[in-house]
Amino acid sequence: MENPAKEVPKVIEGLVGRPSLAQQRQILHRYFAPDCEFYHIYINTRGLEDLSSMYQFAETMFNYQGVKFHTVAYDAAQEVVAVRMTVRIRPWIRLGTPVDLEFFTMLELEKFQDEDGRELKRIKVQRDFFQRSPLLQAIPFFGEIYSWNLWRDLLGRVDAAFFRLVQRLVAWV
């Protein structure tokens, strides 16, 4: 990559924007380092072949539909790209009902020289941070309840009230 701020969204679209498995593999081999690392809520892996297998498994199971970017920020001094996005999936377990996964991805870049001697950047480390558990969001019926912000706020307030009550009972005894 010559301009990570502009090219990273295209890379991500190529990985989760309804790609074919061949396109996905081609993008991974073009933009990721051979010794890349991937850190996710459910899986950590190292190496381009493992990462390629993981992305292709995810495409098959979760049926990527597209991506919407909220923020893309590039720190040239640290060689880091931060991306906040929503990826729409249609997992087979939900019979094609869409699920929107909101998350933040941090990409650490490394410099390398291509065959022509140009200095380019490629992705060395990918770290995904989710607002909500993707697995729980994908469960039919429960996923909608789990994703509902009002419900989560109500549960938080009930938890806080319960723990205040327990605190008072312990102090009283």
Return per-residue pLDDT of the chain as tens, 173 residues. Answer: 999 999 999 999 999 988 889 999 999 999 999 999 999 988 899 999 999 999 999 898 888 899 999 999 999 999 999 999 999 988 887 777 888 888 999 999 999 988 888 899 999 999 999 877 777 777 777 777 776 777 767 878 888 898 899 999 888 87
Half-sphere exposure of 166 (CA within 13 A, CB side): 6
pLDDT confidence of residue 142: 72
Supply angle C-alpha 97, 45, 58, rounded to 5.
20
CATH code of domain 4-133? 3.10.450.50
What whole-number distance in Å separates Cα of residue 168 and Cα of residue 72? 46
What whole-number distance in Å separates Cα of residue 101 and Cα of residue 132? 8
Residue 162 carries which DSSP code? H
- H or E stretch covering 134: helix 134-138
What whole-number distance in Å separates Cα of residue 38 and Cα of residue 29? 14
What whole-number distance in Å separates Cα of residue 51 and Cα of residue 81? 19
What whole-number distance in Å separates Cα of residue 126 and Cα of residue 44? 10
What whole-number distance in Å separates Cα of residue 162 and Cα of residue 157? 9
pLDDT confidence of residue 133: 75
pLDDT confidence of residue 71: 95
Q: Please, which residues bridge with residue 160 across strands?
A: none
Domain assignments of the chain as residue spans, ordered by start: 4-133, 141-173
